[in-house]
Amino acid sequence: MRIGVLGAGQLGRMLALAGYPLAKDFVFYDMSGSPSAGLGEVIIDRDGQYLEDFLSRVDRVTYEFEHLPVDVAEKLAKRTTVHPSPRALQVCQNREAEKTLFGQLGIPTPEWKVADSADSLRAAAEALGCPVVAKSITEGYDGKGQAVLKTPDDADDAWAGIGHPRVIVEKFVNFRREVSIIAVRGEDGDVAFYPIAENTHHEGILRYSIAPAPGLESHVQQDAEKYIKALLNELNYVGVLTLELFETTEGLVANEMAPRVHNSGHWTIEGAMTSQFENHIRAVSGHALGNVQARGLSCMINIIGEHGDIERILELPYAHVHLYNKGERPGRKLGHVNILADSYEELVWRVRNCAQFLPGSPEFKSTLTTKG
125: domain range? Answer: 111-171
Residues 282 and 200 occupy one common structural domain? yes
Examine residue 90 and state whether it is found in any structural domain, yes or no.
no
Residues 220 and 282 occupy one common structural domain? yes
Residues 192 and 280 occupy one common structural domain? yes
Residues 134 and 203 occupy one common structural domain? no
Residues linked to residue 113 through DSSP beta bridges, in sequence order: 169
Examine residue 360 and state whether it is found in any structural domain, yes or no.
no
Contact 139, 66 (CB under 8 A): no
- Look at residues 123, 142, 171 and tell me which one is the last residue of a structural domain: 171
Q: If pLDDT is split at 50, 70 and 90, which confidence band does 372 have?
A: very low
Residues 123 and 213 occupy one common structural domain? no
Chain segment 83-99, per-residue pLDDT in tens: 999 999 999 999 999 99
Which range scores top for mean pLDDT: 2-6, 29-33, 140-144?
2-6
With a cut of 90, say whether residue 361 has pLDDT above it.
yes
Chain segment 155-193, per-residue pLDDT in tens: 999 999 998 899 999 999 999 999 999 999 999 999 999
CA distance 166 to 183: 31
Angle formed by the axes of helices 276-285 and 10-19, to 10°? 70
Examine residue 370 and state whether it is found in any structural domain, yes or no.
no
- Look at residues 137, 171, 205 and tell me which one is the last residue of a structural domain: 171
**Structural domain tally of the chain?**
3
**CATH number for the domain that contains residue 155:** 3.30.1490.20
Q: If pLDDT is split at 50, 70 and 90, which confidence band does 138 have?
A: confident
With a cut of 80, say whether residue 141 has pLDDT above it.
no
With a cut of 70, say whether residue 143 has pLDDT above it.
no
Question: What is the pTM assigned to this prediction?
Answer: 0.94
CA distance 44 to 32: 8
Would you state the pLDDT for residue 104? 97
Would you state the pLDDT for residue 139? 75
**CATH number for the domain that contains residue 62:** 3.40.50.20
CA distance 140 to 360: 23
Examine residue 157 and state whether it is found in any structural domain, yes or no.
yes
Examine residue 103 and state whether it is found in any structural domain, yes or no.
no
- Look at residues 128, 152, 171 and tell me which one is the last residue of a structural domain: 171
Contact 83, 238 (CB under 8 A): yes
Examine residue 99 and state whether it is found in any structural domain, yes or no.
no
Which amino acid is located at 39 in the chain? L
Residues linked to residue 339 through DSSP beta bridges, in sequence order: 299, 319
Segment holding 159, helix H or strand E: helix 155-162
Q: Can you give the C-alpha Rg of the chain in angstroms?
A: 20
Would you state the pLDDT for residue 371? 60
Alpha-carbon torsion 70, 71, 72, 73, what sign?
A: positive
Which range is least confidently modeled, 4-8, 42-46, 140-144, 361-365? 140-144
Residues 167 and 181 occupy one common structural domain? no
Residues 344 and 246 occupy one common structural domain? yes
Query: If you average pLDDT over every residue of the chain, what do you get?
Result: 95
CA distance 312 to 132: 42
Q: Which of 197, 181, 183 is nearest to 283 (CA)?
A: 183
CA distance 250 to 229: 21
Residues 122 and 253 occupy one common structural domain? no
Which percentage of the chain shows pLDDT scores above 70? 98
Q: If pLDDT is split at 50, 70 and 90, which confidence band does 370 have?
A: confident
Residues 167 and 182 occupy one common structural domain? no
Would you state the pLDDT for residue 204? 86
Would you state the pLDDT for residue 169? 95
Residues 245 and 143 occupy one common structural domain? no
Residues 23 and 129 occupy one common structural domain? no
Alpha-carbon torsion 57, 62, 67, 68, what sign?
A: positive
- Phi and psi, residue 123, nearest 5°: -65, -40
Question: If you count them, how many residues does the chain have?
Answer: 372
Q: Is 188 helix (H, G, I), strand (E, B) or coil?
A: coil
Contact 54, 2 (CB under 8 A): no
Examine residue 372 and state whether it is found in any structural domain, yes or no.
no
Residues 331 and 194 occupy one common structural domain? yes
Residue-wise over 354-370: b if at least 16 C-beta within 10 A, else e?
A: bbebbeebeebebbbee
With a cut of 50, say whether residue 333 has pLDDT above it.
yes
Examine residue 96 and state whether it is found in any structural domain, yes or no.
no
Helices (H), the chain: 10-19, 51-56, 70-77, 86-92, 95-104, 118-128, 155-162, 218-234, 268-271, 276-285, 310-314, 344-355
**CATH number for the domain that contains residue 322:** 3.30.470.20
